[in-house]
Amino acid sequence: MTNISAAPFKNKVTHARRPTKQEAEEAVRTLIAWAGDDPDREGLKETPRRVVEAFQEYFRGYGEDPIAMLQQPTFEEIGGYDDLVMLRDIRVESHCEHHIAPFIGVAHVAYLPNGKVAGLSKLARVVEAYAKRLQTQETLSAQIADAIQEALSPRGVAVMIEAEHQCMTMRGVHQPGVAAVTTRFLGAFATDSALRDRFLSLANASRRGR
């Protein structure tokens, strides 16, 4: 299990000129030819267009603002509730930035409110917004936790992701069924071992039930 440091994570993105859709399709044609096939044969003529459209879906997270999602709106009428808010088994579908191969799994996300909460669906949307980018699982774990911390200022945040990486199952070491597990703990979860163990117990209970 990898526990990312509690230091704030900053995602630095340098924006170069974005190629046109036509340029992207031509790049796919080049890759098809490089792989050894004919991009002009019947079965492949529409493949460049389909691949570019698929990429728009796979990586739509670049056009989304996860922090704004969490803040629109928040709710303060919570009856003094100050215990765990947790979502388990949030579906994770992302792509490894090293091979652009999928990694698929689940995320467990929790926080301790500090006077306000976000809608439950917003936690799932934040996971999805960051997952729909080129990622490493470690970075994804950190970004989700840091966004919740920045948007809600809770007393603590915990994130755990379990995922199978196709860059390990379809190439390289060829190890199907191997799950990578990463965690990120902020605030009370980083300092209170009993609280951290409670979160992990709830997350692992979900796995036992699958």
Active site residues: 96-99, 137, 165, 167
Measured between alpha carbons, how far is 145 from 112 in angstroms, rounded to an integer? 12
Q: ∠88-185-120 over CA atoms, to 5°?
A: 35
Of 94, 114, 126, give the one whose Cα is nearest residue 186.
Answer: 114
- Under DSSP, the state recorded for 197 is H
Torsions phi, psi of 46, nearest 5? -95, 0
Residues 6+ apart with CB under 8 A from 85: 110, 111, 112, 113, 117, 120
Here the tokens at position 208 are 């036992």
* Count of alpha carbons within 13 angstroms of residue 204, beta-carbon side: 9
Instruction: Tell me 85's DSSP state.
Output: E
